[in-house]
Structure 1
Amino acid sequence: PAEDYVVTPQGIPGAFLACFVEGFGARVLKTHSFPGYATLKAREIKYKGLFPRALVGYPEMGEVRVRLEAFSPILLDDVSEGYRDSSIPGAVFIFRLANLSGKTKRASVAMSWRNLVGVGGYPGAKIEDLRGNFISFEDGGLLFGSTRRKADPRVEGEYFLVAGAGEITYMAGWSPGREDFWRVFSEEGKLDNSSGRGNLGAVCSTVYLGPEEEVEVPMVLSWYFPNLLGDTDLKPNYGHAYNRWFSCAREVAAYLLGKYRKLLERTRAWQEEILRSSLPRWLGVKLINDIFPLASNSFYTEDLRFSVYEAHEMRGCLGTIDQRAASNSIYTMCFPRLSRSELSLFAKQQVGKGVLCDHWNFRTGRKDLKLDCEGAIRHEVGWDHLEGGTGPSQWPDIPPLFVLQCYEYVAWTGDLEFLDFVYPKVKKALEYEARLDQDGDGIAEVYGPGSMTYDNRDYPFYGASPYVASLQLAALRAGAKMARFEGDEGFESWCGQQESIIRRSLEDKLWSEELGHFYMWYDEMAENWRGSEREHDRFSDACFVSQLAGMWFADLLDLGYIVDEEKVRRTLRSIALKNGSVGGCPANIVERDGRMTSSWPYYAEVYYAAQAIYEGEVDTGLECLRKVYRAMHELDRSPWDAPLGWDYHLYPGNLPEDLPKGSPLRRLLDLKEGENRWATWGRWYMTNPASWFALPAIAGFSMDLLEGKLVMAPNLPSSMKKARSLPIFMPGFWGRVSCEQEEGLRVCLVITRFFREPLNFKKFVTKVPHGWKPGKVWVGFVVNGKEVFSERVVPDGRRVELNLPFSISGVGESLECRLKW
């Protein structure tokens, strides 16, 4: 609901941090609190968010500098069982107090928390069952619990608040106005160890700072809510993954206090890999903050099944295979077992034999076609449960997206057990996709609003679409590679035949030389829809930002060109000129007359920006990413819950009709500029990590462990002739790619983290930089300082392939390739 966009300045009442310095007094370290509490002005607080870390600077208090670093660990090199150390239900608040004077200072920091046991629910169905709630001082900290069962088992649990240094005092069960925290803390800088019946509890740590001494005071807030119920009639209790390792909030707090320094060091490590690299600073910050759905959207069970909520407003939609296509980056790169789990859920729920569905018939213009749905992939794995999605998806982009994500996982991990399991599912999905073609051109038809990923009334696609066709082409090529590995020559041949038919239809029927890009859709059977509720034109000549989504997958997975290379380049330039030319996020669709729709920027980040980087249009690809960064970080200023929809309301229906008078969204109702700069719908959207696919695009890095192939072909912006460090994160290792493009090409990979079995390769691939077309090149290839290849070769276009064995097995190992012409 629109009103859920409103956040009060106070936040959770009674939840705050505070600081006291003897001779100065006390402050609540936020801008709003209870009446009479001394707070800070917004300009006095310096905040930097680098998910999952928050760095906060406060004003100097009585010659004591006050800094805070808060975090909940996420480790991109986590090798613990079930990624335990990235799944801890707790947060650490580290105060750093520095005495800037020549005298000893007494200082205190405190944290107050509200007992939220019994609070939860959904938008429009909130739960607030506080019966039996209590706060008690136990084991050196405050336990927030309840003696009563709650209205919903999911809100049954506990919190624990503890400080890890200094002299500890507390107030358990305080209330503003009576048993009041502020009256005690502001006068003494300590609490009175009292116990009351209120719903708030606070812990205080007091330290003595010698002259010019700095002291670190950690505080931990942990929680333990063991019930994770599926929203079905049977209400299965999956339990949370953290139940495997902890039995109460106190255990969680003890674990964090004992290990917080090491966990913080490892959380900082991957962020420093990004921020100290050759990437623009703004892009590094964007990448770090874009992975917030790891915490806000994850559904992780005690038996280690995993999925991701599409968005909080989607009321429990889990998995969402089309959104997952653009957002699986961080999961497949750094948490591959989670990626395997979610893909397995989709595979196991594939539709079996004997299921017929009513489908739109392009010969009658009515929904009277009986479609054999064997092999269909569901759009989601469940709605707040893992028991199955809502029925066979007839969206034509779903099967190829499933196939491509399976191939991506297998190619990057080399998980042959998963390949053996999923290959029969891949075959059935591609065969089902072929049955969605009704006119013999090989391309599965789209049948109007709500018939694919772009699923609202702004996007009425009909007939053949280059978006669907390109996904089919990439999926068929991936399917053929899996078939070859599995020894299935018949299916490999079928994939090749289907690819030929679809490519011919795409390039002959859907390409417009006049437009310089593909038609958004083209329906040769449009006449059959006359008089139907879905009557439509024969074609749309609008420019669609995702029209060559499959080509991005082909670049990412080094599948080769699935569409004519020149048509790819011209299409990207048209998208840059039309969809990407506005000041805000790139528009999904731009009509020929200039009208444009809203932006779903995460698709633009991969299906346009990352693809443009691969294809040599690096500056325009980075500019697209920068515009999204600007909208989220500089204008909306809340990248940690960024939504799907960015609208300026040119098309009707993009905004809720019941906007309250005070809603900040009302400014959009009369906005005329075509900028797509303002956040509207779908906060906490799962697809934010899409930007991570820019890393392999810029580094030009790919690997395929089925083929034993490694690719390094960096794509640098025009302003950069060399890059000392382009970070890559892949399953089981991190690396830094460096590159020089002066007097030839020198590209090098150094392994900075390695936590998997050795990687064995049979082929190395690099590429001559865009713009060069040498007849022959001299190639030198060096493994760990030893030259293993030195010859002149003839490139295949830009591509240089070396067929020779090499391996990677540890930190510090390196590969270097040099080209001269």
Structure 2
Amino acid sequence: MVQITLFNELYFLVAGGTVWIDSDLSSSLPEDSDLPLHNSTCNSTVPLIGSSPPDFDDKENVGKFLYLEGVEYFMWCTYDVHFYASFALLDLFPKIELSIQRDFARAVLREDKTRVRFLADGTWGTRKVIGAVPHDLGAHDPWHELNAYNIHDTSRWKDLNPRFVLQVYRDFAATDDMSFGKDVWPAVCTAMEYIEQFDRDGDCMIENDGFPDQTYDAWTVLGVSAYCGCLWLAALQAAAAMARSLGHGDYADRCMVKFAKAKHVFEAKLWNGSYFNYDSGTSYSSRSIQADQLAGQWYTASSGLPPLFDEDRIKCTLQKIFDYNVMRVKGGRIGAVNGITQMGR
């Protein structure tokens, strides 16, 4: 079954479109000498936000790899869905997977001040903000002109940065590659620091801002959300584990203090006795059942980390998702729907 699943996940090798070139053919991005510096919460050995992105030594010379989400969705390495597909790459082509993660680690520390117009609301913004994980590695000029996606301002998305931290730690734990861990650690710290700005009330839990600020880009989310909040909890735990492995014990301790506070807020605001509410708002959809509400727990389990919640709550939530998101739609014959109300709509 595992082999069949992995094979099915490799559709992008033949259907999605791929580019695989020698590393020397992809020149590095231009240095930004006038980037602003901010105080970093990380160990003093970690570069500050705005410092020049590191040049990783690709000892294996596996080259540079790109793939499309689909031929009708022309953006290279869309990171929100790489979150799912990357398990196949890690298992079958781990060096390619690490190469992609290094590309995104570089991208976290880059800035592109080009102004772009976002289609959803017509506002203008910056193409790539320092500290924000990009949605993709570009389209017509990959690795150089990032974020071909322009429906929403993804620098305000709440899931990309935690997803980056979770993927990096999973790959680090699976490969035990200390060189990779040291290479990407500055980007991990920067990504974590960046996302903390969305903790609006200082309770250590991030909040969504009332627009589609995550990969479900037609769904409005307000306040604490099951999907993004769970990813954030998992990212705090993953960052702590990675910090300990790399000798940054103080940073790990700070992450776990935040984790304990954030977990309390998350459960207090969202747990309703049988699953976690979609968000902490008061809209019609706020008590909806989201299939992806335990995405952070999934990555935690996949990475060998302790569970985020009590086992009873995890099992109860999964049962609810199965009963509603799977079985209440055509008798479960088409798989899980992303979201459903308690009324089955």
- Please give the secondary structure, in 1, of the residue aligned with 2:156: coil
Supply the distance in 2 between the matched residues of 1:593 and 1:405 (Cα, whole angstroms): 35
Name which of 69, 73, 78 aligns with 1:310.
69
Name which of 223, 241, 248 aligns with 1:463.
223
Specify every segment of 5 or more residues in structure 1 that has no aligned partner in the other structure, as ranges.
Answer: 1-278, 358-366, 524-535, 596-821
- Please give the secondary structure, in 2, of the residue aligned with 1:517: coil
> How has the CA–CA distance of structure 1 residues 549 and 289 changed in structure 2, closer, same or farther, with 3 Å as cutoff?
closer
Aligned to 1:336: 94
8 A Cα contact 1:522 1:540, kept in partner: yes
Supply the distance in 2 between the matched residues of 1:284 and 1:406 (Cα, whole angstroms): 23
Matched to 2:245, the amino acid is F
Specify every segment of 5 or more residues in structure 2 that has no aligned partner in the other structure, as ranges.
Answer: 24-62, 116-122, 148-152
Matched to 2:232, the amino acid is Q
Matched to 2:249, the amino acid is E
8 A Cα contact 1:308 1:319, kept in partner: yes
Once the 2 structures are TM-superposed, how far is the Cα of residue 560 of structure 1 from its aligned partner? 0.8
- Kindly report which structure 2 residues correspond to 1:625-704, keeping only aligned pairs within 5 A, or say none: none
Once the 2 structures are TM-superposed, how far is the Cα of residue 412 of structure 1 from its aligned partner? 1.2
1:451 partnered with 2:208: no
Supply the distance in 1 between the matched residues of 2:81 and 2:111 (Cα, whole angstroms): 27
1:484 partnered with 2:244: yes
Aligned to 2:19: 299
Between structures 1 and 2, the one with greater strand share: 1
Query: For residues 413-446 of structure 1, what are the alpha-carbon distances to aligned partners after superposition, in whole Å with 9 as ceiling and x for unaligned?
Result: 1211111110111011111111112133323222
- Please give the secondary structure, in 1, of the residue aligned with 2:88: helix
1:502 partnered with 2:258: no
Question: RCO higher in 1 or 2 (8 Å CA, sep ≥ 6)?
Answer: 2
Once the 2 structures are TM-superposed, how far is the Cα of residue 537 of structure 1 from its aligned partner? 2.8
Supply the distance in 2 between the matched residues of 1:490 and 1:424 (Cα, whole angstroms): 15
Supply the distance in 2 between the matched residues of 1:563 and 1:388 (Cα, whole angstroms): 40
8 A Cα contact 2:277 2:287, kept in partner: yes
Supply the distance in 1 between the matched residues of 2:181 and 2:109 (Cα, whole angstroms): 19
Name which of 566, 574, 579 aligns with 2:312.
566
Matched to 1:320, the amino acid is T
Query: For residues 600-620 of structure 1, what are the alpha-carbon distances to aligned partners after superposition, in whole Å with 9 as ceiling and x for unaligned?
Result: xxxxxxxxxxxxxxxxxxxxx
Matched to 1:307, the amino acid is L
Once the 2 structures are TM-superposed, how far is the Cα of residue 567 of structure 1 from its aligned partner? 1.2
8 A Cα contact 1:306 1:338, kept in partner: yes
- Kindly report which structure 2 residues correspond to 1:212-291, keeping only aligned pairs within 5 A, or say none: 279=1, 285=4, 287-291=6-10
Between structures 1 and 2, the one with greater helix share: 2
Aligned to 2:342: 592
Aligned to 1:350: 108
Aligned to 1:13: none
> How has the CA–CA distance of structure 1 residues 574 and 289 changed in structure 2, closer, same or farther, with 3 Å as cutoff?
closer
Matched to 2:214, the amino acid is M
- Root mean square deviation, CA, Å: 2.8
Once the 2 structures are TM-superposed, how far is the Cα of residue 285 of structure 1 from its aligned partner? 4.7
8 A Cα contact 2:207 2:223, kept in partner: yes
Supply the distance in 1 between the matched residues of 2:246 and 2:177 (Cα, whole angstroms): 13
1:399 partnered with 2:161: yes
Query: For residues 335-368 of structure 1, what are the alpha-carbon distances to aligned partners after superposition, in whole Å with 9 as ceiling and x for unaligned?
Result: 111111111111111145898x9xxxxxxxxx99
- Please give the secondary structure, in 2, of the residue aligned with 1:547: coil
Supply the distance in 2 between the matched residues of 1:338 and 1:498 (Cα, whole angstroms): 33
Name which of 383, 391, 394 aligns with 2:139.
383
Once the 2 structures are TM-superposed, how far is the Cα of residue 453 of structure 1 from its aligned partner? 0.9
Name which of 193, 200, 215 aligns with 1:431.
193
> How has the CA–CA distance of structure 1 residues 588 and 394 changed in structure 2, closer, same or farther, with 3 Å as cutoff?
same
- Please give the secondary structure, in 2, of the residue aligned with 1:579: helix
8 A Cα contact 2:9 2:88, kept in partner: no
8 A Cα contact 2:108 2:133, kept in partner: yes
Structure 1 residue ranges (4+ consecutive) displaced by more than 6 angstroms after TM superposition: none
Aligned to 1:552: 298
Query: For residues 425-473 of structure 1, what are the alpha-carbon distances to aligned partners after superposition, in whole Å with 9 as ceiling and x for unaligned?
Result: 10111111111121333232223443111112xx222221111111111
1:416 partnered with 2:178: yes
1:472 partnered with 2:222: no
Supply the distance in 2 between the matched residues of 1:547 and 1:339 (Cα, whole angstroms): 25
Matched to 2:131, the amino acid is G
Matched to 1:389, the amino acid is L
> How has the CA–CA distance of structure 1 residues 299 and 352 changed in structure 2, closer, same or farther, with 3 Å as cutoff?
closer
8 A Cα contact 2:289 2:342, kept in partner: yes
Supply the distance in 2 between the matched residues of 1:497 and 1:352 (Cα, whole angstroms): 29
8 A Cα contact 1:522 1:539, kept in partner: no
Matched to 1:288, the amino acid is F
Once the 2 structures are TM-superposed, how far is the Cα of residue 519 of structure 1 from its aligned partner? 0.7
- Please give the secondary structure, in 2, of the residue aligned with 1:383: coil
Tell me the TM-score normalised to structure 2 length.
Answer: 0.76
- Please give the secondary structure, in 2, of the residue aligned with 1:563: coil
Supply the distance in 2 between the matched residues of 1:432 and 1:373 (Cα, whole angstroms): 10
- Kindly report which structure 2 residues correspond to 1:66-105, keeping only aligned pairs within 5 A, or say none: none
Matched to 2:70, the amino acid is A
Aligned length: 288
Supply the distance in 1 between the matched residues of 2:145 and 2:205 (Cα, whole angstroms): 28
- Please give the secondary structure, in 2, of the residue aligned with 1:438: coil
Supply the distance in 1 between the matched residues of 2:199 and 2:5 (Cα, whole angstroms): 40
> How has the CA–CA distance of structure 1 residues 538 and 588 changed in structure 2, closer, same or farther, with 3 Å as cutoff?
closer
Once the 2 structures are TM-superposed, how far is the Cα of residue 489 of structure 1 from its aligned partner? 2.3
Tell me the TM-score normalised to structure 1 length.
Answer: 0.33
